[in-house]
A = this chain, B = another copy of it.
């Protein structure tokens, strides 16, 4: 298994070498090229994905036909559509590679087996979810407390490397702003 994922797992739970092997046995390496999709609207999402390398966006098409980005995924993030995965309903989301991307795919059936064979898996994903929840709640705080310009500044100062990697219009979409507004904000700084 990838060293990234092993290190990642060990930050959350205690796990033996044998159990790591079991974990590994359920993972499938998957490579997708820039602009390819992991999931499209209407499909059933059946896996969780761990990003080894690359960059992903998760978005939906809003009522005006615009792509609205919900969040990005980069190295060492799990990504999936929980609504489709958990409730077994067709997805309303698209999951697409922004760069050529390498992932480890954990199909939900495998996940269930893994949880039975390596029970700490439950704890691992419980803790990951808690951490993810903290992040998304913080995001809601920022949406309501900061004005557009401040949100953009925060994003750039928190993830300067990432702001470089992703087209500006996608950052605009993620932050719920128009690309024109981002341009205006940047122009003001000069």
Name A's B-contacting residues (CB within 8 A).
60, 62-63, 68, 70, 82-83, 86-87, 115, 119, 122-123, 125-127, 129-134, 136-141, 143-145, 176
Contacts and interface: CB of A to CB of B under 8 A. Distances in A.
A114 B188 CA distance: 55
Central interface residue in A87, A122, A132, A176, by most chain B CB within 10 Å: A122
Copies of the protein in its oligomer: 2
A174 to B, nearest CB: 9
Contact of A129 (B119, B126, B138): B126
Contact of A145 (B63, B129, B138): B63
19 contacts: A68-B144, A70-B137, A70-B141, A82-B130, A82-B133, A82-B134, A82-B137, A83-B138, A86-B127, A86-B130, A86-B131, A86-B134, A123-B126, A125-B126, A126-B126, A129-B130, A129-B133, A136-B137, A143-B176
Contacts of A132: 133
A140 B129 contact: no
A140 B140 contact: yes
Nearest to A92: B141
